[in-house]
Chains A and B, each alone.
Chain A
C-alpha cells in the first residue's frame, strides 16, 4: 500500500489527521482525544497494523508540549506508519493503548517514568527504570539533579 493510499484511508475517517515530515515512512499527527480511536482503527481491517515497534515521547521545550510517537508495522501489508500526538508538558494525560497492544504496557511505563506523562486506564502505571522512591522525571529537558555537580575546568 503506498503512502498516498494509506494517508487517504486514514483521512477519510479522521479529518484532522495531518501529514508530518518523516524521512522513512508516512507519519500522521492527530489530536490527543482521537489517539485511541485512531489506533483502534489502525489495528483492524483493512490496514491491519498488528505489530507495534515502540512508543516514546519527545520533549519540545519551546512549544511547551511533549510529542508522543507511536511506530507500527503491518506484516500482511508490509507497510510502516508513525503516529504522533501532542500533550501538554505539565501533567499531560492521554489514553493508554494497552487494550489493543499489550506491548505498550512497558513502553508507557517507561514514558511515565522518564517524562511524566500519565496514561489513563493503564493497568499498572509505576516506575520501571528508575529506583522506587525517585522523584523527578529524568529525560525532561529541564531536569536538574542536585547530585550532579559540574566541575570547573582548570584551563578554561
Chain B
C-alpha cells in the first residue's frame, strides 16, 4: 500500500509558500531504494524525513530457520559492496560464541581479503560522490580500480561481488599461487591511482566549494545518534573497532586512524581517501608476514553452538557492523540481531539537512554513504 504524503506530514502543517516534494525511492542520486520526503520553501529544505524499508527482506527472521553454516551467504547481501567484511564479521561472531580458534594462515588471508574489499568500497565511494555532483570521470576510474581488485577475488573464490568465501573456522579455499605476485603488482598501482583520484576530486576547487561546510555534524550529535565509521571520525572522535576493540590479528599491524575536526562532507571524503592509504599499509605488512599452514579449523559438519549470547562487532567500510546472537544450544540461532551501520548513520540526515539546497542535499547523502540493503536488512 502506497504511503501518501499526508500520512507523514500533515498538509495543515505547511506554512504559506511551502510544498512537499518526494525524493522518491527510484532516484539516481539516492544510492538505491531510499526515499526522503522534503518540505521545501522555494529552493531550500525546511525538513527532510527519510522513509526506509523498501528493501526489507526479513534476513533476521530467515536466520532463525537456517543453521550457522547456511547463513553465511545471507551476510554477503547485507552490504554488497563490502561482502568480505560482512562474512568476516559474522564468522568472528559465531567463533567467539562457540570458542573456535582458527589457524594462523586463515587469519592472514581473512585480513588481506577484508582490507582489499575496504579499498574497493572506498574507491567506489569516491566515484559515486563524484557522479552525484556531476563529475563523470571519477565514477569510471573507481570502477576500473575495482575491476583489478575483483580479478584478485575471482582468482581465489570464483565470484565477483558476493563471495561467500569465509567459513566458520577459516576460509573456504586457499590462495592460488598467482595471488601474492598479483597483489605485489597491485599495490604500487593502487597508490598511484589513489593519488590520481584525489587530484580529480579532493584538490578540485569545484568539489571543495560544493562540499565544504555542507552538513556539519558536531561531535555531540554524532555520538548521540549512534553514528560510526567515517561519520564519527570526521566529527573528531578517534574510534575504530580495529584498534579500540580489536579482533582477528589487527593488533599485529601498524596503521593509523585518520580523524578530522569539522564534520562536513569534505572531511568525510578526506577520511575515506586517507583510509585507502592505511589499508594499503596493512596489506603490505600482511603480505610479508603470512605463514604456510591450514586454512580451516577442525569444525564439525553440523556445528552446534553452546547456549549463550553475545554481541560482537567489526569495522566495516561504512561503520560498525555487529551481530548479537542468542543461541539455545542447537545448530540454529534463536535470535540474530544485525546492527547495521547505515541504519544509525542515516538517522542523522534529517538533523543536518535543514536549510540546504537540493543539490547540497544530494552531496550530503553521497557523503553519508548509507546503503539501503544494510539499512533495511
Q: Which residues of A contact B239 (CB under 8 A)?
A: 75
Of B226, B308, B335, the residue contacting A23 (CB under 8 A) is B308
Stretch at the interface among B108-116, B126-134, B255-263, B337-345: B337-345
**Complex alpha-carbon distance, A128 and B55, angstroms:** 11
Quick check: is B199 within 8 A (CB to CB) of the other chain? no
Of A52, A78, A106, the residue contacting B244 (CB under 8 A) is A78
Stretch at the interface among A2-10, A28-36, A87-95, A129-137: A129-137
**Complex alpha-carbon distance, A58 and B327, angstroms:** 11
Quick check: is A40 within 8 A (CB to CB) of the other chain? no
Q: Are A105 and B339 in contact (CB under 8 A)?
A: no
Q: Are B334 and A71 in contact (CB under 8 A)?
A: no
Of B58, B324, B347, the residue contacting A106 (CB under 8 A) is B347
Residue of A nearest to B49 (CB): A124
Interface size class of A (residues with CB under 8 A): 20 to 34
**Would you list which residues of chain A between 112 and 145 have a CB under 8 Å from chain B?**
127-134, 138-139
Q: Are A53 and B322 in contact (CB under 8 A)?
A: yes
Q: Are A131 and B339 in contact (CB under 8 A)?
A: no
Q: Are B335 and A58 in contact (CB under 8 A)?
A: yes
Quick check: is B303 within 8 A (CB to CB) of the other chain? no
Q: Which residues of B contact A138 (CB under 8 A)?
A: 58, 61
**Would you list which residues of chain B between 260 and 311 have a CB under 8 Å from chain A?**
308-311
Contact A103 B225, CB 8 Å, known A23-B96, A56-B337, A58-B335: yes
Instruction: With both chains docked as a complex, state the minimum distance between the C-beta of A44 and any C-beta of chain B, in angstroms.
Output: 14
Q: Are A24 and B335 in contact (CB under 8 A)?
A: no
Quick check: is A47 within 8 A (CB to CB) of the other chain? no
Instruction: With both chains docked as a complex, state the minimum distance between the C-beta of B92 and any C-beta of chain A, in angstroms.
Output: 11
Interface string of A29-71 (1 = CB under 8 A from B): 0000000000000000000001111101011000000000101
Q: Are A132 and B3 in contact (CB under 8 A)?
A: yes
Work out how many contacts link A and B, with CB atoms closer than 8 A. Answer: 84
Quick check: is A154 within 8 A (CB to CB) of the other chain? no
Of A22, A80, A102, the residue contacting B309 (CB under 8 A) is A22
**Complex alpha-carbon distance, A139 and B65, angstroms:** 12
Q: Are A21 and B308 in contact (CB under 8 A)?
A: yes
Instruction: With both chains docked as a complex, state the minimum distance between the C-beta of A151 and any C-beta of chain B, in angstroms.
Output: 15
Q: Are B58 and A69 in contact (CB under 8 A)?
A: no
Interface string of B6-17 (1 = CB under 8 A from A): 010000000000
Q: Are B226 and A105 in contact (CB under 8 A)?
A: no
Quick check: is B175 within 8 A (CB to CB) of the other chain? no
Instruction: With both chains docked as a complex, state the minimum distance between the C-beta of B270 and any C-beta of chain A, in angstroms.
Output: 22
Quick check: is B194 within 8 A (CB to CB) of the other chain? no
**Complex alpha-carbon distance, A129 and B60, angstroms:** 12
Interface string of B54-81 (1 = CB under 8 A from A): 0010101100000000000000000000
**Complex alpha-carbon distance, A115 and B313, angstroms:** 24
Q: Which residues of A contact B310 (CB under 8 A)?
A: 22-24
Instruction: With both chains docked as a complex, state the minimum distance between the C-beta of B337 and any C-beta of chain A, in angstroms.
Output: 4
Q: Are A53 and B61 in contact (CB under 8 A)?
A: no
Q: Are B97 and A129 in contact (CB under 8 A)?
A: no
Q: Are B324 and A129 in contact (CB under 8 A)?
A: no
Q: Which residues of A contact B58 (CB under 8 A)?
A: 138
**Complex alpha-carbon distance, A22 and B337, angstroms:** 15
Quick check: is B203 within 8 A (CB to CB) of the other chain? no
Q: Are B324 and A71 in contact (CB under 8 A)?
A: yes
Q: Which residues of A contact B344 (CB under 8 A)?
A: 103, 106
Q: Are B311 and A102 in contact (CB under 8 A)?
A: no
Interface string of A99-115 (1 = CB under 8 A from B): 00111011000000000
Q: Are B56 and A129 in contact (CB under 8 A)?
A: yes
B60, B322, B335 pick with most chain A CB within 10 angstroms: B335
**Complex alpha-carbon distance, A26 and B224, angstroms:** 22
Instruction: With both chains docked as a complex, state the minimum distance between the C-beta of A20 and any C-beta of chain B, in angstroms.
Output: 9
Instruction: With both chains docked as a complex, state the minimum distance between the C-beta of A115 and any C-beta of chain B, in angstroms.
Output: 11
18 CB-based A-B contacts, threshold 8 Å: A22-B310, A23-B309, A24-B96, A51-B226, A58-B334, A58-B335, A71-B339, A75-B237, A102-B225, A103-B225, A103-B344, A106-B344, A127-B53, A130-B56, A134-B1, A138-B58, A139-B60, A139-B61
Considering the complex of A and B, which 6 residue pairs feature the smallest CB-CB distances, nearest first? A103-B226, A133-B1, A129-B53, A23-B310, A24-B310, A129-B56
